[in-house]
Amino acid sequence: MPAVRREANVLITGFGPFMSVVSNPSWLSVKPLHNVRLSSCDASTCAQVGEGIRIQTLQVPVHYSSVLDLVPRLHGRTPSSGSFWLDPRLDSPYGGTAGQAYPDGYPIDHPLTGFDVVIHVGVGRGGSIRLETLAHKHSYDKPDTASSLAPALSDNKRGFGKGYDQFGDIQQTTVNIGELVAWLKRRGLEVDQSWDAGRYVCDFIYYASLTNATGAKVLFIHVPPVEDGPGVQKCTEVIRNVAWWIATQCS
């Protein structure tokens, strides 16, 4: 696999609390990777500043309107809708700072040329770690952690409206998940490919990110609950390897 010619920039997001989930396993798995630098030659080897792959992380509230406001900014765009809500339970400053819009108020160095890879991580059902293939535009009927609903549309559906009219009902990642899953399994990391991101805020952020990306490779990963999966450390290992594989494919 060719070496990365410059430092590749990877952003990984995890979610905050929702429902009975106080410590979201997605954020527990993502946070240890903040400011980790990986060698372009080996996913398990650290790199020096200015070479290889740099990972940065942040935490996102489980809140539809916040996703609409934040995700375009992650891709260097101006949001067309949404209003950010700072959940006081988020892990400050990774979840942002009151009165400031991304990248201000976050411990993030937003690259001048944008992120090369954006990976979103959320908690799903028990069992395996799942790499999601596609995201949906409509049918978001469940309330978020602030008891708010996704925007109402004219056809009695809820989902993406203003600023997303030109996009289809389904968006699919350009990451070759089949190859990625096979590579991970050869390294002894058990993951599955999925075609159902859940029609909740996980699916919602995936659709928002895929449609706002201007060149970045985008992927969503579902990790299982702590009590019904391989554990936080193994999830972190999988996410780190996924970030490395996609970043080196982009070179």
Domain harbouring 241, CATH code? 3.40.630.20
Asked whether residue 76 is assigned to any structural domain, the reply reads yes
* Structural domain includes residue 14: yes
Give the pLDDT of residue 4. Answer: 44
Token pair of 94, please? 């990774």
Task: Determine, yes or no, domain membership for 97.
Answer: yes
Look at residue 3 in the predicted model and tell me its pLDDT: 46
How far is Cα 90 from Cα 191, in angstroms, rounded to an integer?
Answer: 28
- Domains identified in the chain, total number: 1
- Is residue 78 a part of any domain in this protein? yes
Domain assignment present for 2 = no
pLDDT at res. 251? 60
56 located within any domain: yes
* pTM, entire model: 0.94
Token pair, residue 123, equals 């908690």
Considering the chain, what is the average pLDDT of its residues?
94
Map tokens 């990365």 to a residue: 4
Structure tokens at 145: 């952690």
Segment 199-237, tens digit of pLDDT? 999 999 999 999 999 999 999 999 999 888 889 999 999
pLDDT of residue 19: 87
Range 142-147, long-range pairs (CB < 8 A, 24+ positions) = 142/199, 142/200, 144/18, 144/62, 144/63, 144/64, 144/201, 145/16, 145/17, 145/18, 145/19, 145/61, 145/62, 145/63, 145/87, 146/61, 146/63, 146/85, 146/87
Q: What angle do CA 234, 231, 242 make, to 5 degrees?
A: 30
Across 9-18, 73-82, 150-159, least confident range: 150-159
Over residues 10-66, the pLDDT tens digits come to 999 999 999 888 899 999 999 999 999 998 887 666 655 556 999 999 999 999 999
Residue 1 is assigned to a structural domain of this protein: no
Residue 121, domain member (yes or no): yes
Domain that includes residue 141, residue range: 8-250
